[in-house]
Amino acid sequence: MAALLTWTGNGTAIDWILGVLVLEGVLLVAYRRVTQQGLGIGPVLSLLLPGACLLLALRCALTGAAPVWIAAWLLAAFFTHLADIALRWRAAAESQV
């Protein structure tokens, strides 16, 4: 149990999760390049960035970073989420025309 608390408390778990998130992005873009199907790099970034920002805010909280860093990452997550919504609405509106 102590090892699990250490692994999560020092941010190592978040680092691994962020690594998996980056790998997911690379695989999605590679799939698009190979098959000419799936999401392009813009939609992939808008899909993954809000989650990455939330993970970075969590990492800051777990490692005892200054509250301003936690707030900055949460704010970045909010704005990247808004950008993702805007891109999805625009794509939906274009497909209905």
Residue 9: name the closest of 66, 62, 67 by CA: 62
Q: In which element (H, E) is residue 19 found?
A: helix 12-35
Is 80 exceeded by the pLDDT of residue 2? no
Look at residue 3 in the predicted model and tell me its pLDDT: 66
11-44 pLDDT per residue, tens: 899 999 999 999 999 999 999 999 999 998 999 9
Structure tokens at 20: 């998996």
Quick one: CA dihedral 24, 72, 54, 49, positive or negative? negative
Domain regions of the chain by residue span: 2-96
Q: Which amino acid is at 75?
A: L
pLDDT of amino acid 4: 61
- Do residues 14 and 58 make contact, with C-beta atoms less than 8 angstroms apart? yes
Per-residue model confidence as pLDDT tens digits over 67-94 = 999 999 999 999 999 999 999 999 888 8
